[in-house]
Amino acid sequence: MIQTQGTSPFVLRTVIIIAVILVVAAIGLVVALGAGKGAAGNETPPLEARPDGVIIASEGKEYEAYQKFLAGYSADEDMFADGDPANPQDIADELIPIPIGHDFQIIINGNPTGNQDISLYKYTGKEWGEVYSNNTAFENPREPGEYILCLVLRWDFEDGSYNIFQYCFKLINSAA
Question: pLDDT digit string (tens) for 7-49?
Answer: 566 555 665 666 555 554 444 433 333 332 223 333 434 333 4
Closest CA to 64 of 73, 72, 52, 56: 56
Among 81-85, 106-110, 150-154, the range with the most confident prediction by mean pLDDT is 150-154
Which residues lie below 8 Å from residue 81, measured CB to CB, with a gap of 6+?
A: 20, 23, 24, 27, 40, 41, 71, 72, 73
Closest CA to 45 of 63, 21, 64: 21
- 3, exposed or middle or buried, with CB in 10 Å at 0-12, 13-18, 19+? exposed
Average pLDDT over residues 125-143: 92
- pLDDT for the residue 93: 95
- pLDDT for the residue 53: 83
Model confidence pLDDT, tens digit, residues 70-80: 999 988 888 88
The share of the chain scoring above pLDDT 90, in percent, equals 49
- pLDDT for the residue 110: 84
The confidence band for 50, taking pLDDT boundaries of 50, 70 and 90, is: very low
How high does pLDDT run on average in the chain? 78
**What range does the domain containing 19 cover?**
2-173
The share of the chain scoring above pLDDT 70, in percent, equals 70
- pLDDT for the residue 76: 86
Distance CA 171, CA 148 (A): 6
- Given phi > 0 = left and psi -120 to 50 = alpha, else beta, which region is 24? alpha
Average pLDDT over residues 91-116: 91
Domains in the chain, number:
1
